[in-house]
Amino acid sequence: MPSSAAPASSSPGSAGMLAPFVNELDRIAPSFQIHGSQIQVIRTPSDFYETLKAKIKSAKTHVFLSTLYIGKSLARQPEAHTEHLDRCATRDPRSAEPVMRVPTRPLITEFGPERVEIRMYHTPNLTGLRKKHVPKRINEGWGLQHMKLYGVDDEIILSGANLSSDYFTNRQDRYHLISSREITQYFARLYKGVASLSFRVEPSKEAAGFTLQWPSSNAAPSPLEKPSQFVAKATELVNSLIAPQATAQAVEAKGGQATDTTVFMLAQLSQLLKPDTSTELPAVTHVLKTLSAPQYAGSSWTFTAGYFNPAPSLTQLLMSSASTNCTVITASPQANGFYGSKGVSGMLPDAYTYLARRFLMAIRQQKRESDITLKEWRKGTVGEPEGWTYHAKGLWVTLPNESGPSMTVVGSSNYTKRSYSLDLEAGALVVTENADLKKRLADEQKWLQEYAAPVTIDDLAKTERRVSFKVRMAMWFVQMVGGAL
């Protein structure tokens, strides 16, 4: 952390309590130091949409958007000076249509390729006979581009939200706007690196309206033609971007204020790295392991994932911490995006209930029931008027004798096994001594729980919550698509 004095309202020992976290994090991931006022916490989907739209309309130099999929509402911003729209060249599991939507194609034809470039990423894990025979509805199970990076000039929004209408209206997520030239440029470099490992979309008169081309200027050969060479070249490129020495700890005080917040750049790009040198899982693992030390008794954490299926190692670390008054927030079945779906995907809400019940049983076995509470989030019912879905994910850590979190993780990751092995994820770990930012992070925790209620093993044992054998048999599908959206 910065050597400047902590704010008056911070705990006197907060810097010392943070040191064991930060010292190791400096060896794991690149970081920048800023002032806490440079981070804005956005509350609602509509606020996210209006903020992003306003930023794009006022863009002076560049816009880069990395998302799983994009809808019509944002693609129709004619003022956008868009360099790239980074996409996924597999398919959305809830749609028979390509993930690439038609509204993005006119952007190229109207503004020209010198102003607009659209890229679609394809995993090197789905090639040859596997690509030929795996059903298109589930082919994203072999990995996809999942980063959510929304950069405009010198600002970036880190989120787990995609760019379709439900994420702008009735799908609750998290959104942090960071006003920092250096941080935005860092993620722009990461973004461009992945773009150089992706297909370029070109307008076409074919039925789809576009074709996918592999430019000779790309950083690697096509993953469809030479997957091994693709990964080898990608490893060289990605390592140069995510290693701790990839950036110095730039000091960029705002208005002459001393820096009091460190932002660690996290990336989980496992399918592009051999060996895997991703930074997110090691960083989150280190934070949770450190919380198990005796001096952190009295600390607390809040963990949230819309699709509750955390990697087993993280589940164990959450339960092994010395923290008390801890909370897990997840979507209720009626707030799950798959609620009411046809086929196997319709079983997923019950499958997540089964996973939640196993988590509660583990808590009971470890005698942590008084320390850890599981809450389900529900605002109406999916598919009905005023019904919302819950898609927020993240981690907050509050130190002993403090009222607000000193640390939070925000970004695209669902913290699942597949997030740490198959998908491309990006985010940040914020470590702060800024009293106002701590308060705003505490407020974020509170408003995300406004529609959340505690559930117990007894609640999940009720007849209406019991999980059928058929759902248990479908658990493999959770592992395949559960962390993809």
Show which residues are catalytic: 146, 148, 153
Residues 75 and 58 sit within 8 Å (Cβ to Cβ): no
Gap between the Cα atoms of 31 and 261, Å rounded: 10
Amino acid letter for position 470: K
Q: Which positions ≥6 away from 272 have C-beta within 8 Å? A: 124, 194, 197, 231, 234, 235, 238, 424
User: Degrees (nearest 5) of the Cα angle 284, 286, 287?
Assistant: 65
**462, two tokens:** 């009720």
Amino acid letter for position 270: S
**25, two tokens:** 């994090």
Neighbours of 343 (CB within 10 A): 10
Residues 444 and 329 sit within 8 Å (Cβ to Cβ): no
Gap between the Cα atoms of 227 and 223, Å rounded: 4
- Of 334, 458, 433, nearest in space to 389 by CA: 334
Rg (CA), the chain: 22
3-state secondary structure 55-92: HHHCCCCCEEEECCCECHHHHCCCCCCEEEEEEECCEC
Q: Which positions ≥6 away from 371 have C-beta within 8 Å? A: 323, 324, 325, 326
Residues 284 and 415 sit within 8 Å (Cβ to Cβ): yes
**24, two tokens:** 């190791």
Locus of tokens 């806490």: 36
